[in-house]
Amino acid sequence: MGMFVFDGQGKETGSVILLAGGALDHIGDVTGEYKVDGTCDGTLVIHTVHHNPPVSHYHDVDMVVVDGGKEVLFQLGGPKDTPSGSPPPGEVFNGVLKRL
């Protein structure tokens, strides 16, 4: 569960609460850069700092804007150490973002 703000200029900010391994993980200050093309397909690379002790992660997100901009379907890859690094195999999250 979380909230993301896309500024219309390629920048994203937000926060997320995840349930992982039976514990809640509060991830604030999620930042990223995104691109959306003329067919409403897009990409996003997000940066998070979380865990205890804090660890910096990057995630690749593939997305498509649907329903006239009211929703975004997305697939988020596992954590990477750098924006251009490779994520671990097999870790993928799918979801829907809804416009408020």
Q: What are the residue ranges spanned by the domains of the chain?
A: 2-98
Tokens for 65? 């804007």
Amino acid at position 57, single letter:
H
pLDDT tens readout for residues 41-85: 999 999 998 777 888 999 999 999 999 999 999 999 888 989 888
Using CB atoms within 10 Å of the CB of residue 68, give its burial: 0 to 12 exposed, 13 to 18 middle, 19+ buried. Answer: exposed
* pTM to 2 decimal places: 0.85
Helix, coil or strand: residue 52: coil
Using CA atoms, how far apart are residues 71 and 24, in angstroms rounded to an integer?
Answer: 25
